[in-house]
Amino acid sequence: MDRTMHLFKDFLIEREENVTARILESMDKNQPEAYKKLTHQSKVNIYKEQIKELIHLLESYLIGESTEERIKDWGKWVSEDKVRLGFSLSQSVQHFHNIRDAMWEELSEMADKLNDSSPGESLKVGSLINKFIDDLILTFTNSYTGQANMRLRAQQEVIDELSTPVISIVDGVAVLPVIGDIDTHRARILMEHTLRETENKEVECLIIDLSGVFIVDTMVAQELFKIIDSLKLTGVDVKLTGMRPELAHSVVTLGINFDNVKMYSNLGQALKAFGIARK
């Protein structure tokens, strides 16, 4: 069996370019859209490098050399690339199936050329190929998940920043338009971002516009009061605008009291109260 392992390793070394081309053909046939992404312009050379490194890893694996750290590095390298290119996890795993098929075809081709290699020995090599690919999938999946989560967190942070803009109108006066539902997570982001921005922009009065909020329940009201109270503690005067009729009806029905906050029907009225009007 050891002899067959070494023979297949040597066979892969001799046919590295052929194996790479075979994997590319398999990708083109089974995943044409993914193939276009991976082989677009300068990306094709990076993809070929990844495949060749995988082949080298398999060569070392077949003869019992330690490849654990190299596989981890490879998985991180490839997963970063796949996440950046927008590949889903299922697309990426399918990619490994294409690689497995190509390796088995190479093994079959070698077995046909070696008359003294028994079917049992070839199957044992094939079993090692399967184990290698399975280990590779597991390593890649763990790395991919970590990379994808990091990317999602970064995107969420950008969305949170964009969804809580404190817009300066004149010196000391700014507007915070709130759009969409407010949950506990968003309320925390609103508070942190608003406190930071009002301090950075030296805001004395902040107008919170609720015209883009469609639901106000007791939880939302409580979170708003927390934001307002926190701002007041830092010396910021808070006004509310944009309380639509249906929203006002919900507030009254729920018995929510906004008496301690100055309210205006729309942003224009609030700005006029500060002497800001169209000339």
Per-residue pLDDT, averaged over 44-53, amounts to 84
128/258 same-domain check? no
DSSP three-state, residue 52: helix
Does 13 or 206 have the greater pLDDT score? 206
- Which pLDDT score is estimated for 117? 61
Q: Which residue has the higher pLDDT, 126 or 137?
A: 137
**24 within a domain of the structure (yes/no):** yes
Residue 62 pLDDT > 60: yes
DSSP 225-248: HHHHHHHHHTT-EEEEE---HHHH
Summary mean pLDDT of the chain: 81
Range with the largest mean pLDDT of 123-137, 216-230, 257-271: 123-137
| pLDDT at residue 32, rounded to an integer | 82
- What was the pLDDT predicted at 89? 86
Kindly report, residue by residue over 138-196, the tens digit of the pLDDT.
889 988 888 888 887 777 666 666 566 888 888 888 988 888 777 777 788 888 888 98
In a domain, 54, yes or no: yes
Last residue of a domain, one of 159, 179, 200: 159
End of a domain among 97, 131, 159?
159
> Is the CB of residue 201 less than 8 Å from the CB of residue 234?
no
- CATH number of the domain that 189 lies in? 3.30.750.24
Give the model's pLDDT for residue 248: 73
Higher per-residue confidence, 9 vs 192: 192
pLDDT in tens, 207-239: 888 888 777 777 777 788 888 889 989 999 888
Greatest alpha-carbon pair distance for the chain in Å reads 96
Please tell me whether residues 98 and 177 are part of one structural domain.
Answer: no
Average pLDDT over residues 96-119: 77
pLDDT over 50 (residue 1) = no
Roughly what angle, to the nearest 10 degrees, separates helices 2-14 and 16-30?
80
Q: Which domain holds residue 218?
A: 167-273
Q: What is the CATH number of the domain that holds 62?
A: 1.10.490.10
Number of domains in the chain: 2
* 3 state SS of 154: helix
d(Cα 98, Cα 22) in Å, to the nearest integer?
9
Q: Are residues 182 and 268 in the same domain?
A: yes
**34 vs 145, more confident:** 145
154 and 184 both lie in a single domain: no
| Whether 8 and 140 share a structural domain | yes
Query: Which residues sit opposite 175 in a β-bridge?
Result: 167, 207
The answer to whether position 187 is within a domain reads yes
DSSP collapsed to 3 states, 59-95:
HHHHCCCCCHHHHHHHHHHHHHHHHHHCCCHHHHHHH
**What is the mean pLDDT of the segment spanning 46-70?**
85
Q: Are residues 153 and 180 in the same domain?
A: no
pLDDT of 257 above 80 = no
